[in-house]
Amino acid sequence: MTSPHVASPAQRVLAGYPEPLVQQADALWRAGELMPVLRRRHDETHQVRDDAALYDYVQALKTRYLRKAEPLQHVGYDARLRVIQHALGTHTRRTQVQGARLKMRREIRVASLFKDAPAALLRT
């Protein structure tokens, strides 16, 4: 059993949500029932399985909702993301040196668990 001051994965991911929801998700996580419950609730799947398909999917959303936003240089799944940043996805800007100039690269990385997640979870 974990000590009370160590947050479970559900508590870390859902930190800003109401306490009853966090407790419910934590109980399901500890019982090993969280993914089966989510699969029953959201049974439709998506076809966004690789980085190229994810890039196209994000570009379509960006074109629809964020027309004036800066272009994205990289969109992809990242298997290490949840372990390192305790996040489901990141939107970052990286500075890259090109000769005497600095160039900004905008990247979106999505946790690889969304490859097999229901389509509704990928949309959010």
Residues 59-118: tens digit of each pLDDT: 999 999 998 988 999 999 998 887 666 778 888 999 989 899 999 999 999 988 888 888
**Same domain, yes or no: 13 and 55:** no
Supply the range of the domain harboring residue 13. 1-41
**Same domain, yes or no: 36 and 62:** no
Estimate the crossing angle of helix 19-31 against helix 34-41, to 10 degrees. 110
**Same domain, yes or no: 21 and 66:** no
* Predicted local confidence at residue 14, as pLDDT: 80
More confident residue, 124 or 4: 124
**Is residue 24 a contact partner of residue 41, using CB atoms and an 8 Å limit?**
no
**Same domain, yes or no: 10 and 53:** no
Beta bridge partners of 91: 108
Provide the domain count of the chain. Answer: 2
Strand intervals (E) in 1-124: 74-78, 89-98, 101-111
pLDDT at 1 over 60: no
**Same domain, yes or no: 61 and 115:** yes
* Predicted local confidence at residue 34, as pLDDT: 83
**Same domain, yes or no: 28 and 64:** no
**Is residue 81 a contact partner of residue 111, using CB atoms and an 8 Å limit?**
yes
**Same domain, yes or no: 49 and 106:** yes
Which value, to the nearest 10 degrees, does the dihedral of the CA atoms of residues 30, 81, 90, 9 take?
A: 10
Q: What is the pLDDT of residues 21-36, one digit of tens each?
A: 889 988 998 898 887 8
Handedness of CA 16, 109, 72, 45 (dihedral sign): negative
**Same domain, yes or no: 3 and 18:** yes
**Same domain, yes or no: 111 and 69:** yes
